[in-house]
């Protein structure tokens, strides 16, 4: 049932993510890659508000925040697609809804900002419309919107398999401290996956195309048991030791954006325990020892000239929370 015009607006706060492991298999027939994806939600958030709109408005989208100019406001926006998908799922006529995104997650940075907005829109519209969608149906809708959207509904830490949507929650002890170096401009996720395939094909010995089982098996994505134990034990030093080789997309992101090597070097020189490219990049994530180290590393990174800004945060962050319903 579409919201009555007087229904209160609903605001849902959704965290960003970092992939502390991103093991990428060969591409399947659909072009998607089999993954072992260790997601960690981090405490940088977008706030997504769904408010009733006058009849005939349709799905109207607005975005504010430092990167708002880089966010598409048409039907391609994942939050708008989420609202349309939820309405269709419930057989609702074209909904009239105002979606507002207060954006703090870097755009096209490999931190699932668009996916977080989609998860927020699903939850905010579900509350606004009183559709009470069961969790497993929300998960199925989220999978159709994008590989990272199901995790954005969950938060915390999880292993994502398949495209990343088959989730197993992971235990994490304590709090990990992070600094994120935000780059100027984004990187296209499909382009980074394509570059990963290209680099692997170029590295194959002649006569052994990557699609052959023997070659493909070399890239079978498996979660790293040492890394999972480090998360479970809250052991930042042990986690740091695994990070430099944890992201299979990192060589591709560095190939497309060689300057990221300078950012990674600057973070390590600034005192980070370890750094890696976040997801498909170009944001770089640095694990640091504690909150004091985070502030110091962020200050040095910001001065290094190798990134646009440096953000301090912690993980794991809880999943989406409804932070307000208001007239």
Which region, judged by CB under 6 A, interacts with ligand C5P, from 143-151, 230-238, 242-250, 269-277? 143-151
**Whats the size of the chain, residue-wise?**
327
Distance, CA of 249 to CA of 257 (rounded, Å)? 12
Locate 64 and state its tokens: 């504010």
Q: State in angstroms the smallest separation of the CB of 306 from ligand C5P.
A: 26
Nearer to ligand C5P, 193 or 286 (CB): 193
Q: State in angstroms the smallest separation of the CB of 85 from ligand C5P.
A: 13
Catalytically annotated residues: 17, 148
CA distances from 212 to 31, 68, 201, 209 (A): 16, 44, 11, 6
19: nearest Cα among 142, 145, 189:
189
Find tokens 């750094």 and name the residue: 275
Nearer to ligand C5P, 117 or 148 (CB): 148
Contacts (CB under 6 A) with ligand C5P, residues 149-208 = 163-164, 189-190, 193
- For residues 291 and 156, the answer to whether their CB atoms sit within 8 Å is no
Which region, judged by CB under 6 A, interacts with ligand C5P, from 10-18, 82-90, 145-153, 214-222? 145-153
Nearer to ligand C5P, 27 or 267 (CB): 27
Binding mask 34-53 for ligand C5P (x = CB under 6 A): -x------------------
- CA 164 to chain centroid: 11
Residue 127 per-residue DSSP state? H
How many other CB atoms are found less than 10 A from the CB of residue 132? Answer: 8
Which region, judged by CB under 6 A, interacts with ligand C5P, from 27-35, 127-135, 232-240, 255-263? 27-35
Q: Does 147 engage in binding with ligand C5P (CB under 6 A)?
A: yes
Q: Does 139 engage in binding with ligand C5P (CB under 6 A)?
A: no
Q: Does 33 engage in binding with ligand C5P (CB under 6 A)?
A: yes
User: Which one of 95, 146, 150, 275 is in contact with ligand C5P (CB under 6 A)?
Assistant: 146
**What is the residue-wise DSSP string for 81-109?**
HHHHHHHHHTT--S--EEEEEE--SPTTS
Phi, psi values for residue 151, rounded to 5°: -65, -35
* Total of residues contacting ligand C5P (CB under 6 A): 11
Which region, judged by CB under 6 A, interacts with ligand C5P, from 6-14, 57-65, 142-150, 295-303? 142-150
284: nearest Cα among 311, 324, 304:
311
Nearer to ligand C5P, 17 or 177 (CB): 17
**What is the residue-wise DSSP string for 18-47?**
EEEEEEEEEE-TTS-EEEEEEEEEEEEEEE
Q: Does 148 engage in binding with ligand C5P (CB under 6 A)?
A: yes
Nearer to ligand C5P, 52 or 279 (CB): 279
Nearer to ligand C5P, 280 or 306 (CB): 280
Residues that bind ligand C5P (CB under 6 A): 32-33, 35, 146-148, 163-164, 189-190, 193
């Amino acid at each position: 049932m579409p919201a009555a015009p007087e229904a209160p607006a609903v605001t849902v706060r959704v965290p960003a993510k970092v992939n502390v492991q991103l093991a990428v298999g060969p591409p399947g027939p659909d072009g998607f890659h089999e993954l072992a994806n260790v997601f960690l939600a981090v405490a940088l958030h977008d706030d997504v508000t769904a408010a009733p709109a006058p009849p005939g408005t349709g799905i109207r989208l607005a975005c504010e925040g430092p990167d708002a100019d880089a966010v598409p406001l048409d039907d391609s926006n994942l939050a708008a697609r989420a609202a349309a998908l939820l309405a269709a799922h419930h057989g609702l006529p074209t909904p009239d809804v105002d979606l507002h995104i207060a954006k703090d997650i870097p755009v096209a940075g490999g931190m699932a900002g668009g996916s977080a907005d989609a998860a927020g829109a699903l939850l905010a519209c579900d509350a606004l419309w009183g559709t009470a969608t069961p969790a497993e149906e929300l998960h199925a809708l989220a999978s159709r919107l994008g590989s990272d959207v199901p995790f954005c509904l969950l938060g915390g830490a999880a292993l994502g398999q398949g495209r990343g949507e088959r989730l197993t929650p992971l235990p994490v002890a304590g709090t990990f401290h992070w600094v994120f170096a935000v780059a100027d401009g984004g990187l296209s996720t499909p382009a980074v996956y394509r570059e990963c395939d290209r680099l692997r094909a170029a590295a194959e010995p002649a006569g052994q195309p990557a699609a052959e089982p023997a070659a493909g098996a070399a890239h079978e994505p498996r979660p790293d048991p040492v890394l999972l134990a480090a998360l479970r034990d809250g052991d930042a030093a042990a986690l740091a030791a695994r990070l430099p080789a944890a992201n299979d997309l990192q060589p591709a992101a560095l190939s497309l954006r060689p300057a990221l090597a300078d950012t990674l070097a600057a973070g390590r020189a600034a005192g980070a325990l370890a750094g890696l490219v976040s997801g498909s990049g170009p944001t770089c994530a640095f694990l640091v020892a504690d909150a004091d180290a985070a502030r110091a590393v962020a200050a040095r990174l910001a001065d290094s000239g190798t990134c646009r800004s440096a953000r301090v945060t912690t993980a794991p962050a809880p999943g989406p929370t409804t932070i307000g319903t208001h007239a």
